[in-house]
Amino acid sequence: MTAENARAGSAVPDVAAVTAALQIARRAPSLHNSQPWRLIFDGKRLHLHSDPDRSLPMADPDGRQQVISCGAMLHHTRTAFAANGWHTDVVRLPDPARPRYLAALAFRPWPDPPERIRNQARIIGRRYSDRLPMDAPDGWDALLPGVTEVARACEITLDDLPDSVRERLAAASDQAEAMRRFDQPYQSELRWWTGHFDPAEGIPPTALATAAEAGRVPVRREFPTAPGSTRRTMAEDHARLLALSSSDDGPAHWLRTGEALSAVLLECTGAGLSTCPLTHITELPAARRVIAALLPGHLRPQVVVRVGMAPEPDPVPPTPRLPIEDILTITTD
């Protein structure tokens, strides 16, 4: 349907094409699966806004991660349109007077996108946040340059943190979580997003680790633990830890971080690897300073990504998503 629209020589996608692309793109990752994005299609352009009703004031008081999540949605959206035959030209933060207006996308037909892009859109459906212990990623040295490059293309620096700093990072992670353990507003917010069983949002128990599993992952956000028997019996986590950092802070950098995060996650998933974004260690200034001190230059660490291998496939049900009609408004007549 959608590719037909592009092949038919139309200059802009029709509503069916927009809906089809967003069906794919809405699998984008977001903080606590809050899906804080709103899209408006005016018949010519698609406008991406952040949704003030989907903020997490305790984990994300300045809205940094909300914009990062929307950046991931922007990259997923561009990937899905490209795979369906539409090149997108993006203006980021088009109206400084409206900071929630994050991007405007204009379209050009791209009837024959490369197979690599079509494949990326298929990978969107396979990616998920894996919170279990992982084996070290196979062939990592060969993959790292490509993964670094997709982040760099979004003006974001990727550092593959050496094994020698794992203990310091684990200590910073522990400390960050210890500081939050008795922070009731933070804990209530976390429990709301992980325990209210809404079929369209939040993190379901099936996506969480049991206490025994979580205990073997030293760098992790502490979620309520899931019941169930222990999966993956390896003694410890051997995931690589990647830091995604920007040259400065602010919405433009956060949006690009989200785009880079999406690109990195898809690149790794395409290579058969498991991934999990982590931000609890960039939420508190003290922990964020620890990571910053491990990086060259004066970078602002935004997200850490665990990348590894699942020893055997252990399929988990996909996390839920809001229906298209809740995230897309059509303003064409």
The residue ranges that bind ligand FMN (CB under 6 A) are 29-33, 65, 68-69, 72, 128-129, 131, 203, 207, 221, 276-280, 319
CB of 276 to ligand FMN, least distance (A): 5
CB of 76 to ligand FMN, least distance (A): 11
Dihedral, CA atoms, 228, 230, 232, 234, nearest 10 degrees? 160
Q: Tokens representing 120?
A: 């990326």
The span from the CA of 180 to the CA of 228, in Å, is: 25
Q: Which is nearer to ligand FMN, 6 or 276 (CB)?
A: 276
Q: Which is nearer to ligand FMN, 256 or 280 (CB)?
A: 280
| One-letter amino acid of 144 | L
Q: Which is nearer to ligand FMN, 2 or 33 (CB)?
A: 33
State the residue number with the nearest CB to ligand FMN: 29
- What's the gap between Cα 124 and its chain centre? 11
CB of 71 to ligand FMN, least distance (A): 9
The angle subtended at Cα 114 by Cα 145 and Cα 109, nearest 5°, is: 125
The span from the CA of 299 to the CA of 183, in Å, is: 29
Q: For the beta carbon of residue 228, count every other beta carbon within 10 angstroms.
A: 13
Signed CA dihedral, 264, 147, 292, 307: sign only: positive
CB of 1 to ligand FMN, least distance (A): 25
CB of 193 to ligand FMN, least distance (A): 8
Nearest to 254 by CA among 266, 245, 264, 243: 245
Q: Which is nearer to ligand FMN, 12 or 214 (CB)?
A: 214
Q: Which is nearer to ligand FMN, 56 or 104 (CB)?
A: 56
Q: Which is nearer to ligand FMN, 5 or 319 (CB)?
A: 319
The span from the CA of 258 to the CA of 70, in Å, is: 7
Contacts of 325 (CB under 8 A, 6+ apart): none
3-state SS string for 98-152? CCCEEEEEEEEECCCCCHHHHHHHHHHCCCCECCCCCECCCCHHHHHHHHHHHHH
CB of 318 to ligand FMN, least distance (A): 7
CB of 60 to ligand FMN, least distance (A): 8
CB of 5 to ligand FMN, least distance (A): 28
| One-letter amino acid of 120 | Q
Nearest to 256 by CA among 159, 332, 324, 158: 158
